[in-house]
Amino acid sequence: MSNDSGSPKFKFTAYRTIIFKGSASVTNGKWKFSFWVPKNINYSYGKGRISYYATDGNQTDAGGIFSNFIVGGSSQQVVEDDEGPQMDAFMNDENFVSGGITNENPVLLLKLSDDLGINVTGNAIGQDITATLDGDNKNIYILNDFYVSQKDNFNSGVVRFPLSKIAQGKHYIIAKAWDISGNSTEKRVDFAVKSLNNEGLKHVYNYPNPFTSQTMFQFEHDLVNTDLDILVNIYSITGKLIKSITQTKYSTGFRVNDIGWNGQDDFGASLARGVYLYKIHVHSKDLNITRESNFEKLVKL
């Protein structure tokens, strides 16, 4: 059959409400999964559907659907739960610290967990995974479709939601998520959109400082989505180079916070107590760009 424009008509069924979305390990062609159904699904009975896809990571994959089952009704099992999910919020990656910097197109990263699972059905009004930028309640982002459960674990999962064209300056996001029992959790993350081009490294420091046997060097940069060759040079107060630390890291975000040093020189000898200087150099071969910090002080006890 055709409509007035000549385009063909056909009937189809849309499955728009997701009760659970996750992944499982396949062993000898078999897999299994389990989850709790949220209490606020539509209680009327109807045909459900499972869509599945599998791959060995190389050249073999498989997929299909199963719909020979019914969803609906309610359980007589009473679940005692009055605590919301656990939530951690970052920009771009887990190295981010609230108040840090990013570019105009950051990715909101949420790590969520709950004993009974996260609600992503979208059936209950106001019980979606959401994010609100700068308190603008007229433009709330719905993140249900961006949630993916951890493999073989329905209790936890992540949201990766891309933002775009955020104006330069300070901003904040408030994220909210619900468990299947109707309990919620909110988390705020602050960030600053800046252009760091040709401005070197920012927020360079080591922690703890002073230190006795171990410290970590940290900094923010603008060389995102590239391999970074990182060099930390440590000097005596008179300017003598006593230790060079080199690492290569792929940067998904704008912050590095895990360059460690045990307080020893290049020959493995522990340095004496006192004040030392350090400088950090970062180079991207892909971008052919180098950034470096000013000299910073550290104290060894």
The neighbour count for residue 293, using CB atoms within 10 Å, is 20
C-alpha distance from residue 62 to each of 18, 53, 54, 57 (Å):
21, 6, 5, 11
> Do residues 206 and 135 share a domain?
no
**Sign of torsion, CA 156 157 158 159?**
negative
For residue range 182-241, list pLDDT tens digits in order: 899 999 999 999 876 656 788 899 999 999 999 999 999 988 888 999 999 999 998 899
Mean pLDDT, the chain, integer: 87
DSSP 8-class letter at 36: P
Residue (of 158, 145, 149, 161) closest to 91 by Cα position: 161
Q: Which of 5-14, 91-100, 112-121, 239-248 has the lowest mean pLDDT?
A: 5-14
Q: Which residue has the tokens 């055709």?
A: 2
Residue 30 falls within a domain, yes or no? Answer: no
> Do residues 252 and 288 share a domain?
yes
Listed residues 162, 193, 224: the one ending a domain: 193
* Domain region containing 220: 202-300
Counting Cβ atoms within 10 Å, is residue 148 exposed (0-12), middle (13-18) or buried (19+)?
middle
CATH number for the domain harbouring residue 130: 2.60.40.650
* Contact status, residue 96 vs residue 90, Cβ threshold 8 Å: yes
Tally the domains of the chain.
2
Residue 119 has pLDDT above 80, yes or no: yes
Residue 206 falls within a domain, yes or no? Answer: yes
> Do residues 271 and 173 share a domain?
no
Residue 64 falls within a domain, yes or no? Answer: no
Buried b (16+ CB within 10 A) or exposed e, 156-176: bbbbebebeebeeeebebbbb
In a 3-state reduction of DSSP, which class is residue 199? coil
Residue 281 falls within a domain, yes or no? Answer: yes
Residue 123 has pLDDT above 70, yes or no: no
Residue 274 falls within a domain, yes or no? Answer: yes
> Do residues 214 and 121 share a domain?
no
Q: Which distant-in-sequence residues (6+ apart) come within 8 Å of 246 by Cβ?
A: 229, 230, 231, 232
User: Does 63 or 10 have the greater pLDDT score?
Assistant: 63
Q: Which of 6-15, 20-29, 110-119, 292-301 has the lowest mean pLDDT?
A: 6-15
Phi and psi for 146 in degrees, rounded to 5?
-95, 0
Q: What's residue 77's pLDDT?
A: 72
> Do residues 237 and 281 share a domain?
yes
